[in-house]
């Protein structure tokens, strides 16, 4: 038995066209999963970022706002009609912005909570409702972060959203276990993508702080996040629920002497 064979799985991932999402999609598809990629970008942009959309007929793109219930309902209808009802739903859509905590704009705070927390809840709730109605099991995987437990300068609302997402995951896990529905989370560290990579490349003070915070000494490759998702989607994780897989290179050990 190949414990990393996902050929019997249909996996939906929100935020799948982003930098980390691209790596996750590629790894899941390489291991045989049918992957429904959701994001808000136009399909042409998603296809440019995700070669698997053109190369693999079991990888399909579905544009939708994961924070909008009507759009999410249509998303699940489309995925089910095209690839089958998802076995795993990855609530991965997210964003981050950096401002000092005393200067963080309320508009940016509201947007971040909409994208990070509301979208995760709306998507997870819709998945749970469909699994319960069909009397079948399923798994939710939330993308949290090492900062869910460790404050990091200038991203306090992001930290709060990830801490809330951890609590959300545990609530889904506790309430839905009797239905055969599991919920877990993957918590990456400082990933070499997006805002973290830009700050690493352009802000010497950020780079010095981040280097000190990573015991392994280098930024996390997106592929390592994807491999954590691969494990969580595989039969090897079949007895996990309410678990955070902390794949952060030791960042949560911060601060270091």
Domains, the chain, ordered by start:
10-192+222-247 (3.40.50.720)
Tens of pLDDT, residue by residue over 41-51, are 999 999 999 99
Handedness of CA 217, 219, 223, 229 (dihedral sign): positive
H or E element that contains 187: strand 181-188
Of the listed ranges 178-187, 188-197, 219-228, 241-250, the one predicted with least confidence: 188-197
What's residue 217's pLDDT?
A: 86
Q: Give every CB contact of residue 56 below 8 A, 6+ residues apart in sequence.
A: 29
CB of 115 closer than 8 Å to CB of 160: no
Question: Is 219 within 8 Å of 213 (Cβ atoms)?
Answer: no
Q: What is the pLDDT of residue 221?
A: 96
Q: Is the pTM of this model over 0.85?
A: yes
């Amino acid at each position: 038995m190949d414990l990393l064979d996902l050929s019997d799985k249909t996996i939906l991932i929100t935020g799948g066209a982003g930098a980390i999402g691209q790596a996750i999609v590629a790894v899941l598809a390489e291991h045989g999963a049918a992957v429904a990629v959701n994001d808000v970008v136009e399909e042409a942009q998603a296809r440019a970022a995700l070669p698997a959309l053109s190369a693999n007929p079991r990888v399909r793109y579905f544009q939708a706002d994961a924070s909008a219930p009507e759009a999410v309902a249509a998303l699940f209808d489309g995925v089910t009609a095209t690839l089958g009802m998802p076995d795993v739903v990855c609530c991965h859509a997210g964003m981050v912005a950096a401002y000092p905590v005393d200067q963080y704009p309320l508009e940016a705070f509201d947007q971040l909570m909409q994208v990070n927390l509301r979208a995760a809840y709306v998507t997870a709730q819709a998945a749970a409702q469909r699994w319960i109605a069909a009397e079948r099991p399923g798994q939710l995987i939330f993308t949290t972060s090492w900062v869910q437990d460790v404050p990091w300068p200038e991203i306090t609302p992001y930290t709060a959203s990830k801490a809330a997402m951890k609590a959300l995951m545990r609530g889904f896990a506790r309430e839905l276990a009797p239905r055969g529905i599991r919920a877990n989370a993957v918590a990456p560290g400082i990933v070499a993508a997006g805002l973290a990579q830009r700050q690493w490349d352009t802000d010497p003070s950020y780079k010095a702080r981040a280097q000190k915070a990573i015991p392994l000494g280098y930024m996390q490759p997106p592929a390592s996040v994807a491999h954590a998702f691969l494990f969580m989607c595989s039969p090897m994780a079949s007895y996990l629920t309410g678990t955070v897989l902390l794949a952060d290179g030791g960042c949560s050990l911060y601060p270091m002497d």
